[in-house]
Structure 1
Amino acid sequence: MSRWFNTAGPCNPDKHYMLSATSRLPDLEVLIEQESYFVVHAPRQTGKTTAMLALAQQLTASGRYTAVMVSAEVGSAFNHDPSAAELAILGSWRDTTSIRLPQDLQPPTWVYEEPGQRIKASLQAWAQVSPRPLVILIDEIDSLQDQTLISVLRQLRDGYPNRPENFPSSVGLIGLRDVRDYKVASGGSETVAVDGFPGISKLLNPKGDRLNTASPFNIKVSSITLRNFYAAEVQELYQQHTQETGQIFSPQATQTAFDLTQGQPWLVNALAKEVVEKLVKDRSITITKEHILQAKEILIARQDTHLDSLAEKLREKRVKNIIEPMLAGLALGDTPADDRQYLIDLGLLRRDPAGGLVISNPIYREVIPRVLVQGTQDSLPHISPSWLAQSGELNTDALLEAFIKFWRQHGEPLLGSAVYHEIAPHLVLMAFLHRVVNGGGTLEREYAIGSDRMDLCLRYRSVTLGIELKVWREKKRDPQTEGIEQLESYLARLGLDFGWLLIFDRRKNALPIEERLSTQVVVTQNQRTITVIRA
């Protein structure tokens, strides 16, 4: 059997199509040569575990080091009992080293003496008898929290000055986040010494639930993140399938996969897996751009584990405080820099080379509002599809009439069901439009910081409808003129000569919905017909 595209767990070159596991971490071997302690953090399913396993194997095979990747995850069941966590962690490490290292490089019996010192003492005993310098890569370190996390970090720091003869020469902490975002219990105010990091004194912030500092692991030399695939690497990965099966990915298919994912490894593999295993099983058929787009819709609708876990983060307050204004097209304002970096570390956002923060890729950009709209969508009453002609085509005039009727009867009550209150009108409208396109079309969204709008593109068979949403907020002027200009630009990009501009009046003194609900047709200088809907 040929290899396959992997979307679950570490990659194995004998079973999976994969790129060089360590090529995206080019500086690590230099750090290890310099006996450095470091952090590798990246979002879930970007290849961290695969890369660290491969690095440990390479280092051990070189004959220069004893290197192994272990996990701290079992300790997370004992976050308020560091002593029990130590025992669980050391037991797991014993099992791991017995599997991954040859007999002559395995550790001696662990030192189970003083609680709170066992990890340090055991690693010290191993380093003292090891024929080679030790390199320990600790995966899932940020699954630990509270006193257990602090205890483990302090033991590593306490042993650091004794390396390499009496402690591991190099230690890597592997997780989703950088050290400052490791979770600790709320309400603490303990402080620690932070030699070498002037100006940083608090281990726990007064109300905090995060370290907010590199201490007590302030011995780290570097924090490294695992980058996404480049476009050429996506092509290289897909080419492996072609070489093994003869099935070709067209250049347009490969480019579309990169454009949709921006090289996010799980998404790159998931798209290809859906296509070659479900949509196009016949290896003689070339995979096209349309196949990739079809796979994208399936992934988004299905919300596999990766997308589901990403969506779960949207409930966190610090995530909501940034994603909500982004969806509304507002400026982020006085959001903490740590929170913005947290969303980058999670993989939800990236810094655009042109400036500003953007959603990391078009698939995430589509997933986020779809997840947020689900509760509202489930709250919708039955709506008869009066917008469909007998031929099955979409009648936009009938759709407008149906929306006006829907909003008059159900709009305001449904606003309370929206999870993000600032963009409640957007979410209710999208819930309605999802009913429209269900099974027969697509709804695409565009939004960006500072644009003060959301653009929607509804496609149903041969009909394409461009829609722009604007909100009339307190102490702001009527957004109609600006909205028409912005919608014109959007329609030009879509190649359309008509569209809708929806203006939701959210001012406290707004007229009752019966009085403000209205439509008006405006013909622009460029002869585009815009229906202005006030709701």
Structure 2
Amino acid sequence: MLRYIEGVSARLLVVVMPKWFNTAGPCKPDIHYMLSATERLPEIKQLIAQENYFVIHAPRQVGKTTAMITLAQELTASGQYTAVMLSLEVGAVFSHDPELAGRAILDEWQDAIKFYLPPELHPSHNILGESGRHIGAFLAAWSQESPRPLVVFLDEIDALSDETLVSVLRQIRSGFPRRPKGFPQSVTLVGMRDVRDYKYASGGSDRLNTSSPFNIKVRSFTLSNFTLEDVRNLYQQHTDATGQIFTPEAVDLAFHLTQGQPWLVNAIAKEIVEYIATDPATPVTVDLVNQAKEILIRRQDTHLDSLAERLREDRVRAVIQPILAGQELPNVPQDDIRYVLDLGLCTNQDGLTIANPIYQEVIPRVLAYVTTASIGYVQPIWLSEQGEFLPNRLLEAFLLFWRQHGEPLFGSTPYPEIAPHLVLMAFLHRVINGGGTLEREYAIGSGKMDICLRYGKVTLGMELKVWRDRRSNPLKEGLSQLDKYLSGLSLDTGWLVIFDRRKGLPPLSDRTTTENVISPAGREIIVIRG
């Protein structure tokens, strides 16, 4: 990008490097749109000045590494500290050999220090650490010879596990009393989880369940998502650089869909400005944001894919399954709830819920993936010859599919309590592959899942209920709840699907029926029982 600057006696040609929305690795100020690290972490400088050791934990790709690199550079540039972010990740392959892990980590640190710090702040080349305590000895020796107090951010701490993890934590704890002249003034552990959730295979547990190896921490806190104002500021940087505007409604929708999750905020904007609407003269509208959202959900990039891997963990299933089913949360350990919060899968701001609308779409889609793949070819009789969507024909196709394949497919789902939900959604995924979209709403204690299918000009709202043993018929409650959902969609008709999970019933193929009823609000409802 070229800009001319008029001077008194010369006309200067200035090359302005373009910037981009970043979705891979730490942000670089010269090429990426980004927000201030210190504004996102206003307490850190005071904690460092007080010679504190602390923990920062947050889900992947919310900007932890970017924030720590930027903050370390600011602290060093101030002339008050020698500050650097160092990674522990290379020690992960030596989980049971602290000696080899320590050597690998120090070797990596030497390269990072040379890259991030000026030569006058480098440690001596002969600082190698002592056998068995490489990390602690290195930090002690460097602190003693550094012309400024040493501040160290240790990234990827939870990549370590077992003996190596405990060894590193104890070496840091051992040196803590000698700070700031004999050990770093401040050490920050940076990772996805808090100390008690670090991996340690011992006594039948797969995590520490205690912060004792690092009980010197003054506090643990998390890097929060972007606020609505943050999203506006980030997108405004692109407008200032290119002239391409984001309408206020588009910004609001992007924030709603992502709830400020930094990777998602950047990914939506990147998809739009680099692939969908590359002409800066094209304003970014609500329609473009929705289009980008659907692309991200279907594509399941690395961020969404890695998040989905967690769904099969027992402690995650224990929390996510009742949320999807709309059931009350059972008596699960408090650590399991904290774990899904730390992973960024859920939020607890207004009760425990899935973290954002995009995750709400991705999670059921991932859980139904194998089932969707198991479904053979389904004739799309729900489309007319002109490609119009026909809800009555969709009902016919679904009933045929449900009677023939519903029960056998229950075993293909990873969450048995909501197997019928996932099989139905697997079928609907096949339907929308032709050009429609699915939206889902669910929450703990609601006793339901709502689904909105949009295809062309047609919008179909449906509610899923479960009839379990020792529970009353959910028909009356379901009709009332469906009325509220359809009212929000401005629809006069809809489906109420009741999954009968009571014991001793005939086969699904024999008990699947439909019935037309009128809801309390006068809407025409098709009740499907199966």
Q: In structure 2, what residue type is equivalent to 1:379?
A: S
Percent of paired sites with the same residue: 62
Q: Which residue of 2 aligns with 1:365?
A: 360
The alignment status of 1:143 with 2:171, answered yes or no, reads no
Matches within 5 A, 1:383-532: 383-532=378-527
Q: Which residue of 1 aligns with 2:285?
A: 288
Q: Which residue of 1 aligns with 2:528?
A: 533
The alignment status of 1:158 with 2:153, answered yes or no, reads no
The alignment status of 1:170 with 2:167, answered yes or no, reads no
Q: Which residue of 1 aligns with 2:10?
A: none
Is the 8 Å Cα contact of residues 518 and 525 (structure 2) preserved in structure 1?
A: yes
Cα distance change of structure 1 residues 514 and 298 upon mapping to structure 2, 3 Å threshold? closer
1:285-344 C-alpha deviation (Å, 9 max, x unpaired) = 111010000000001111111111111111111111111111000111201111101111
* Between 439-448 and 145-154, the greater mean CA deviation after superposition: 439-448
Q: In structure 2, what residue type is equivalent to 1:61?
A: A
Task: Tell me the SS of whatever aligns to 2:136.
Answer: helix
Cα distance change of structure 1 residues 503 and 143 upon mapping to structure 2, 3 Å threshold? same
Q: In structure 2, what residue type is equivalent to 1:401?
A: E
Q: In structure 2, what residue type is equivalent to 1:323?
A: I
Is the 8 Å Cα contact of residues 448 and 465 (structure 2) preserved in structure 1?
A: yes
- Measured in 1, the distance between the counterparts of 2:172 and 2:72 equals 19
The alignment status of 1:103 with 2:157, answered yes or no, reads no
Q: In structure 2, what residue type is equivalent to 1:397?
A: N
- Measured in 2, the distance between the counterparts of 1:243 and 1:426 equals 46
Q: Return the offset for 1:524.
A: 2.3
1:10-40 C-alpha deviation (Å, 9 max, x unpaired) = 1111101111122111000000000000001
Task: Tell me the SS of whatever aligns to 1:266.
Answer: helix
Task: Tell me the SS of whatever aligns to 1:38.
Answer: strand
Q: Which residue of 2 aligns with 1:252?
A: 249
Q: In structure 1, what residue type is equivalent to 2:177?
A: P
Give the total of aligned pairs: 514
1:108-143 C-alpha deviation (Å, 9 max, x unpaired) = 245546432221111111111111111111000110
- Measured in 1, the distance between the counterparts of 2:289 and 2:390 equals 29
Q: Return the offset for 1:526.
A: 2.0
Match of 1:132 among 113, 133, 148: 148
- Measured in 1, the distance between the counterparts of 2:508 and 2:411 equals 15
Task: Tell me the SS of whatever aligns to 2:466.
Answer: strand
Is the 8 Å Cα contact of residues 127 and 142 (structure 2) preserved in structure 1?
A: no
Q: Which residue of 2 aligns with 1:20?
A: 36
Q: In structure 1, what residue type is equivalent to 2:78?
A: S
1:328-366 C-alpha deviation (Å, 9 max, x unpaired) = 0011120111110111111111112xx311111101111
Q: Return the offset for 1:511.
A: 2.6
Q: In structure 1, what residue type is equivalent to 2:186?
A: S
Q: In structure 2, what residue type is equivalent to 1:515?
A: D
Q: Which residue of 2 aligns with 1:76?
A: 92
Q: Which residue of 1 aligns with 2:24?
A: 8
- Measured in 1, the distance between the counterparts of 2:118 and 2:135 equals 22
Q: Return the offset for 1:415.
A: 0.7
Is the 8 Å Cα contact of residues 22 and 55 (structure 1) preserved in structure 2?
A: yes
Q: Which residue of 2 aligns with 1:315?
A: 312
Task: Tell me the SS of whatever aligns to 1:504.
Answer: strand
Is the 8 Å Cα contact of residues 127 and 134 (structure 1) preserved in structure 2?
A: yes
Q: In structure 2, what residue type is equivalent to 1:437?
A: I
Q: Which residue of 1 aligns with 2:135?
A: 119
- Measured in 2, the distance between the counterparts of 1:57 and 1:330 equals 48
Q: In structure 2, what residue type is equivalent to 1:171?
A: V
- Measured in 2, the distance between the counterparts of 1:332 and 1:527 equals 33
Moved over 4 A (4+): 110-114
Is the 8 Å Cα contact of residues 111 and 118 (structure 1) preserved in structure 2?
A: no
Q: In structure 2, what residue type is equivalent to 1:215?
A: S
- With structure 1 as the length reference, what TM-score do the two structures score? 0.94
1:251-304 C-alpha deviation (Å, 9 max, x unpaired) = 111111111111111111100000000000111111101000000000111111
* 5+ long unaligned stretches in structure 1: 188-206
Matches within 5 A, 1:293-372: 293-352=290-349, 355-372=350-367
* Between 296-305 and 107-116, the greater mean CA deviation after superposition: 107-116
The alignment status of 1:215 with 2:212, answered yes or no, reads yes
- Measured in 2, the distance between the counterparts of 1:80 and 1:239 equals 49
The alignment status of 1:270 with 2:272, answered yes or no, reads no
Q: In structure 2, what residue type is equivalent to 1:432?
A: F
Task: Tell me the SS of whatever aligns to 1:77.
Answer: helix
1:376-435 C-alpha deviation (Å, 9 max, x unpaired) = 000002111111123321211111111111111111101111111111000000011111
- With structure 2 as the length reference, what TM-score do the two structures score? 0.95
RMSD value, Cα: 1.1
Q: Which residue of 2 aligns with 1:38?
A: 54
Task: Tell me the SS of whatever aligns to 1:416.
Answer: helix
Q: In structure 2, what residue type is equivalent to 1:102?
A: P
Q: In structure 2, what residue type is equivalent to 1:499?
A: G
Cα distance change of structure 1 residues 395 and 65 upon mapping to structure 2, 3 Å threshold? same
Q: Return the offset for 1:78.
A: 0.5
Is the 8 Å Cα contact of residues 129 and 136 (structure 2) preserved in structure 1?
A: no
Q: In structure 1, what residue type is equivalent to 2:240?
A: Q
Is the 8 Å Cα contact of residues 158 and 199 (structure 2) preserved in structure 1?
A: yes
Task: Tell me the SS of whatever aligns to 2:166.
Answer: helix
Task: Tell me the SS of whatever aligns to 2:215.
Answer: coil
Cα distance change of structure 1 residues 532 and 167 upon mapping to structure 2, 3 Å threshold? same
